[in-house]
Structure 1
Amino acid sequence: MSAHGGANQAFRLLGARITAKHSGRALDIEGNLMTDRARLTQWDWHGGNNQRFRLEPLGDVGTYRIVVESNGRVLDVLNASTDDGATVVQFPWHGGSHQRFRLQPLGDGYHRIVAVHSGKVLEVQNSSTANGALVTQRAWHGGDNQRFRL
């Protein structure tokens, strides 16, 4: 992993865990499904490739695609929705703005992950600490369920 220091630097995480601050659980593709539209959830860390992600910088400065290590699909806000509560899924890369994310450091070792198309952040729905809780997008409110360690 490289440090994030400015527009001339970028993260490049390979097979990394992304952890929610409020629960300590890892982001996870439900059931290790390989199908399009399988949902992003949180789960206890077990080290499977459905819990490992590659953050790949894109040509436009500061944006990334987040690739699921188990199958090469990317995180995608379902149907390019801009609604609060829209589900985050895995889907083949086609370059849409709802498959592009900004990683914004919060100064405490955590980041918010912002969907480019909506300006909304990823969050664990309802601040749930349970295994299997969905990850959705919502307007930033600063809660620990919207903060992730990369």
Structure 2
Amino acid sequence: MNRFVPSLLDKLLGSAGAPAGSGTAPGLSLAQVKAAVARDIETLLNARPGPLCAALAAHPRAARSLLGFGLADISAASLASDRDRARIVDAIAQALRNHEPRLTEVQVSVRDATLPGSGLCFSIHAQLRLSPCVEPVAFDAVLHPGSQRCAVSSSARGAAA
């Protein structure tokens, strides 16, 4: 069974199975790494960039820094509009490409909602970079229309798609 090195955040939070600040961090299983990535994606998609982010367009490195961390403002988008849904999917994919370096080949697609009015359901498929290997991963997410909050979980359907 492969064990993977936890991220710095997981080490600081004690999420790696060892108490926070213990100085020891056992390796993580693949399922634990995927759960940590899902948690971090949810954090990213529920954050919004600072008000100066639009001014950073001329400075691509600054836009990819903590100043631009989060999902672009989508509050004016209508989940009923195909064009707005495509814009939201593009914003999600861009946020992941800019701020989640563990993922490559990111693809975001809209899924049919399981319940009417449940929000925008989408899937994220990517390659998870784990030294020394690369693992295909998939995450399911729902953007709730009223609160503009995202809920992310590892996909039960797997990463094949």
TM range (shorter): 0.3 to 0.5
TM-score of the superposed pair, with normalisation by structure 2: 0.32
Q: Which has the higher contact order (CA 8 A, sep 6+)?
A: 1
Which one has the largest radius of gyration?
A: 2
**Structure-1-length-normalised TM-score:** 0.33
In terms of fraction of residues, the more strand-rich structure is 1
